[in-house]
Amino acid sequence: MSVDLMRNFVNGEFVDEGRKVTITSPVDGKPVSEVILADKKSTMEAIDSAYEAYYRSWAETTVRERQALLSKLARLVQEKSNEYALMESINTGKTLRQSMLMDIPLGISHIEYFAGTDEFKFSREITHPEYPDTRGIVQNAPMGVVGAIAPWNVPFLMAVWKIAPAVLAGNTIVLKPSHHTPMTALNLAKDIRDTGFPPGVINIVAGTGSEVGNTICTDDRVSMVSFTGSTATGKKVMSMASESLKKVTLELGGKSPNIVLPDADLDHAAKGILFGIFLNSGQLCESGSRLIVHSSVREKLIGRMTEHLKNMKAGNPMDMETEISAITTGDQLKKIGSLVREGESQGARILYQRELGESVPEGGFYFPPTILDNVTDAMTVAKEEIFGPVLAVSEFKSADEAVRIANSSKYGLASGVWTRDMKAAFDIGSRIEAGTVWINEYHMLSAAAPRGGFKKSGTGRELGLEGILEYTQTRHLFINEKESDFDRVAYGLIISDQDQ
């Protein structure tokens, strides 16, 4: 596909400041677009415009006014959903099937959720039990200017998840999509402009972390930073943001387990586990990269999984029949290969690897879906996020052992439990240290459900009411309409009443 030069979106206009680069597709290595990468100057201008827009008018808009704009944005994006899907796949290497049937429709439905939810209330009234003659109002006030930094793996969804709740809560925003995969976010800017959002409310500036990201994290006018990416980079973001005491939410790495109990529906579990790790070639933060299976059903389950893997269609991801995605960057492809080799050197063995051969386009980035066996807790492949199509298998004999293995990771983003026994599922699920626990399911994301991590998988939540509230700060109005007996007692501690 071919698109025009893509520019950054600042104060309601597309700007040329920055460095022009060519975007090549991981599908086949061919150029697909030219993009202006923002520099520090244009990032500062985006922050300027967001700051001015917030104080000029946006903070005073009503929730209903903001939702009306989000609803219109959803309709405009829906009209171009095929265009977005093509752009998302050619830029990231994920299959067109995934973009058309999952990522883009899911993103649109999530905009619609924020456009229609009635869960978010700007304020609520409370009573003060100590002071019966008074009342209180707790307001969810906007943070102000939000800086949002998104990763390269699901750029359209991430743009939606950062923008929609932030502006609904009354903030203005400067979004930095990854410089590797900026195309759908910059395309979204066109629909944001056509929707009629006031200039400066939403700014989108693609660029590197060292220029754009660092500027967002250190500028005093940015009140909050929402970051999604690696744990290592998240620590740097938090450190930079701490200098000006910004609020920070972090959605970071994962090493998510899928626990399979002996009574599980193995046909269903086999498909769900494969979906959990091989969707988007494992390049999802919550990918189910560890299989923890009861020893009594291990062979049967893996047998069914390998049969499905043999039938997964390899080919050009831009073909709707293809089921195996490319790896988005060359550096990530090298990292995956290096970690698998390290796993083998530490005693893991490749139980199955789906050969791709000449079925995938020449010049693209591809790694064969792989299952590693004989994996112990001490191995790197059990501890570190591979972020690729690699599943590490271990066994357990008791539920307590399964929970121990699942919680042995420093991460805690997501997990899955497969069983017909709902009491056991609830018991195990409630003991797993993870922000999301799927039961007989995986990867299904609801806009109404909070998403985020325990431990080194981050802090704060996205989506749902909790995700909206992250973009707010509370203000308490203590209201006393007339002098009370308590006032007389309290004030009398320091002021004598001469009339008495």
Active site residue 285: yes
Indicate the residue type of 94. K
Q: Is 102 left (phi over 0), alpha (psi -120 to 50) or beta?
A: alpha
Label residue 398 left, alpha or beta by phi (over 0 means left) and psi (-120 to 50 means alpha).
beta
Separation of alpha carbons 400 and 91, rounded Å: 43
Q: Classify burial at 72, counting beta carbons within 10 Å of its beta carbon; exposed 0-12, middle 13-18, buried 19 or more.
A: middle
- Quick check: 81 and 101 in contact, CB under 8 A? no
DSSP 344-406: HHTT-EEEEE---GGGSPTTS-----EEEES--TTSHHHHS---SSEEEEEEESSHHHHHHHH
Rounded CA-CA distance 36/182 in Å is 10
Closest CA to 146 of 39, 38, 8, 248: 248
Residue of 285, 286, 323, 384 marked active site: 285
CB 167 within 8 A of CB 59: no
Angle at 432 between CA 430 and CA 437, to 5 degrees: 75
The first and second tokens of residue 124, run together, are 């609520």
Fill in the amino acid letter for 48.
D
Q: Two tokens at 45?
A: 């201008």
Candidate list 88, 112, 211, 251, residue with the active-site label: 251
Sign of CA pseudo-dihedral 151, 154, 159, 165: negative
* CA pair distance 99, 412, nearest whole angstrom: 27
Residue 355's CB is within 10 A of a number of other CB atoms, namely: 9
Determine the residue type at 41.
K
Active site positions, annotated? 251, 285
